[in-house]
Amino acid sequence: MEMIQIVGIGLLATVLILVIKEQKPMFAFLIGASTGIYIFLYLIGKIGGIIDVLEQLAASSGVQMIYLKTILKIIGIAYIAEFGAQIVRDAGRRALLQR
């Protein structure tokens, strides 16, 4: 049921952005960015549960925790960087990404 709510929030934000974008593009960008941040913060709690399960699996299989934590940090950094890049692309500032 929670996934339906998350998808509903995303669809509602998309419709609002499409309606408002022609009149107030900056406001539409703010709606999109704030919706993305809200969904991300909402899912952090769920991601914590997944990390706990992964730690239990790693401990039961004999994998050292240092390797699991390193992989999770790499995935987290990549996800945050991609999220930031998508926000910049949505704002129409692609020149910031070309370095």
Calpha distance 97→19 (Å, rounded): 27
Task: Note the Cα 23 to chain centre separation in Å.
Answer: 27
* 10-27 pLDDT per residue, tens: 899 989 988 998 898 889
Calpha distance 49→74 (Å, rounded): 18
* 33-87 pLDDT per residue, tens: 899 889 888 888 888 888 889 889 988 998 888 988 899 899 989 988 888 888 7
Instruction: Report the phi/psi class of residue 62: left, alpha or beta, with left for phi > 0 and alpha for psi in -120 to 50.
Output: left
Task: With CA atoms as reference, report the closest residue to 36 among 97, 95, 80.
Answer: 80
- Please tell me the pTM assigned to this model: 0.62
Calpha distance 54→30 (Å, rounded): 35
Residue 93 has pLDDT above 90, yes or no: no
User: Domain limits at 86?
Assistant: 2-97
Q: How many independent structural domains does the chain possess?
A: 1
Q: Which single residue is written with the structure tokens 């699991």?
A: 68
